[in-house]
Structure 1
Amino acid sequence: MIRNLILTAALSSSMALTAQADENWISLFNGENLDGWTVKFSGSKVGENYKNTFRVEDGKLVASYDEYDEFNGEYGHIFYKEKYSHYKIKLEYRFVGEQIKGAPNWAKRNNGIMFHTQSPESMEIDHGWPVSLEFQLLGGLNDGKERHTGNVCTPGTHITIHGKFEKEHCLDSTSKTYHGDQWVTAELEVKGDEYIRQYINGELVLEYFKPVADGNDGEQPAHPMKDGMPVTEGYIALQAESHPTEFRNIMLLDLSSD
């Protein structure tokens, strides 16, 4: 009996490894330069990398503020070149160092994976965030309080969660709090407007459904979609919200043929 259990476990492990090997994950970041990515900062034209914020260091894609004297609302995003609808994306991230002087307190150890976004070219010059969904990434503040990561925020959009059409801008996940400069793995599974699942270190921490556009959102002036329109596809972007952040192993699995 024990021998059979061992054989069964070994077979299951082998099958899982084979299935993973068969999956055609592709790297979105080559570890050498920002080819394939486009930056957009509030107050700057598309393609202008304000104060060299986004850069490559030691094979990592980094949001850095070492060329700033002070932060004055220059929120930035770096967009991958392709649109996607059905896919998985996974990456590792960590927060490092101190937040730049002048930045808002809410943005401390705060970043995100923006997805189903509008194109960077469609954003206005002073536009802070693209119309999108955000897989919010937060680091603990060592203040004795829980600070979940893997949350959802909805700039210019709304979602259905727990059977309710929700207009709250950000909703917490069930994740643990991650303090310090440790690497954390974030994975996102997107099936158009059918469902979105968010994972932290391999654990499902949030699931929601049926994203739609809020075409009346006055904070999103360059809104490309009508109110109530299903949000089924778009670009993927990483943020620069004022706290130094590092990303690595940015991988995507296209599920459009499933």
Structure 2
Amino acid sequence: MKTSFSRFTRHCAALSLLLVLCSGASNRGTVTEDWIDLFNGKDINNWIVKIQHHETGDNYANTFRAEDRIIKVRYDGYDKFNEQFGHLYFKQPYSYYHLKFEYRFTGEWRKDAPGYTELNSGVMYHSQDPRTMPKEQDWPISIEMQLLAGLPDGKPRPTGNMCSPGTNIVYKGKLDTRHCINSSSKTYPANNDWIRAELIVLGDSLITHIINGDTVLQYSKPQIGGDVVNRYDPKQKIDGTILDHGFIALQSEGQPVDFRNVKLLNLEGCMDKASKSYRSYFVKGNAGLCK
């Protein structure tokens, strides 16, 4: 009973924090928020590239590049796509955080990429370390905030969905093994407009996807399991393992896409009010970060 009550209390605290984060309550104006610029606007030196068929660190054909204060995903150096799925990982893993970024689709989709990749990209989180991925592994074991735009057929195509390469999640109280779950967002056209996206990750607890200020999807308990990831090191895929931390990565699947204003608010830190490092918005304590 003690353990159950503790979990209930932590869950309530997480929900309370989420209400504050999502509502932009007025009392947040008095709190110093230490947002981190994951992208410095100049280069990708703080990021790690991993592209299928290439070793970790090989930014094949300058796929990922920093220009005009934008991280650009481009394929002008490719002779053929050849399933060279790629990801750009921030160098440091996180557990509890609020991630903000903007994205837009641009340019011509590579017609030699799989059809589902048209106007399709994503941001992976709770990902395995890219340095644990064999050369021929396609996607990292991770959870994806999938980013889509409407196709010419005019059918609904929401963005901010959840996809799960080598993982599962708990959705509406039950383990859900579908590879992708659609969000409630509207369909956005690919007209070069920037879309604002947010991801609030509370360890292995509540996960929230936000598009242009609207909460569009929530779920919990990300964990290793399922398919849609290939040629991985078996030591990295122990099904049933709960994912409460990992790397954040921007995706490359054959569609040119831009990312900018990639910022993170760490929600894990010193919870000792006597410390200068204390912040009232922390939800996960870490005594090692107290000054």
* In the alignment, structure 1 residue 120 sits paired with structure 2 residue 161: no
1:246 alignment partner, one of 242, 249, 258: 258
Deviations 1:175-224 (A, max 9, x none): 01110221101100001101100000010000001111117777362351
1:141 alignment partner, one of 137, 148, 151: 151
Asked if the contact 1:215–1:228 (Cα under 8 Å) also holds between the matched residues in 2, the reply is no
Match of 1:3 in 2: none
Asked if the contact 2:177–2:226 (Cα under 8 Å) also holds between the matched residues in 1, the reply is no
TM-score, scaled relative to structure 1: 0.91
1:219 alignment partner, one of 202, 223, 230: 230
Q: Which amino acid aligns with 1:230?
A: I
Q: Distance in 2 between matches of 1:215 and 1:174?
A: 24
1:101 alignment partner, one of 108, 111, 129: 111
- Return closer, same or farther for 1:14/1:73 CA change in 2, 3 Å cut-off: closer
2:91 alignment partner, one of 44, 69, 81: 81
Asked if the contact 1:130–1:220 (Cα under 8 Å) also holds between the matched residues in 2, the reply is no
Listed as ranges, the gaps of 5+ residues in structure 1 are 1-12
Asked if the contact 1:142–1:179 (Cα under 8 Å) also holds between the matched residues in 2, the reply is no
* In the alignment, structure 1 residue 40 sits paired with structure 2 residue 53: no
1:35 Cα shift? 1.3
* In the alignment, structure 1 residue 15 sits paired with structure 2 residue 31: no
Q: Distance in 1 between matches of 2:155 and 2:25?
A: 41
Q: How many residues align?
A: 246
Q: Which amino acid aligns with 1:76?
A: G
1:16 Cα shift? 5.1
Match of 2:279 in 1: none
* In the alignment, structure 1 residue 206 sits paired with structure 2 residue 221: no
Secondary structure in structure 2 of the residue aligned to 1:248: strand
Deviations 1:46-105 (A, max 9, x none): 110011110011110010111123211000000001010000111000000110131111
- Return closer, same or farther for 1:51/1:210 CA change in 2, 3 Å cut-off: same
Asked if the contact 2:165–2:226 (Cα under 8 Å) also holds between the matched residues in 1, the reply is no
Asked if the contact 2:145–2:161 (Cα under 8 Å) also holds between the matched residues in 1, the reply is yes
2:73 alignment partner, one of 63, 67, 70: 63
Asked if the contact 1:193–1:210 (Cα under 8 Å) also holds between the matched residues in 2, the reply is yes
Q: Which amino acid aligns with 2:212?
A: N
Q: Which amino acid aligns with 1:234?
A: G
Match of 2:248 in 1: 236
Secondary structure in structure 2 of the residue aligned to 1:22: coil
1:15 Cα shift? 3.4
* In the alignment, structure 1 residue 191 sits paired with structure 2 residue 211: no
Q: Distance in 2 between matches of 1:189 and 1:210?
A: 14
- The aligned runs of 1:18-33 (5 Å cut-off) are 18-19=29-30, 22-33=32-43
User: Percent identity of the aligned residues?
Assistant: 45
Q: Distance in 1 between matches of 2:57 and 2:153?
A: 38
Greater RCO (Cα-Cα under 8 Å, separation 6 or more): 1
- Return closer, same or farther for 1:134/1:17 CA change in 2, 3 Å cut-off: same
- Return closer, same or farther for 1:162/1:220 CA change in 2, 3 Å cut-off: farther
Q: Distance in 2 between matches of 1:95 and 1:16?
A: 36
1:18 Cα shift? 1.6
Q: Distance in 2 between matches of 1:122 and 1:130?
A: 9
- Return closer, same or farther for 1:160/1:55 CA change in 2, 3 Å cut-off: same
Asked if the contact 1:193–1:209 (Cα under 8 Å) also holds between the matched residues in 2, the reply is yes
- Return closer, same or farther for 1:72/1:164 CA change in 2, 3 Å cut-off: same
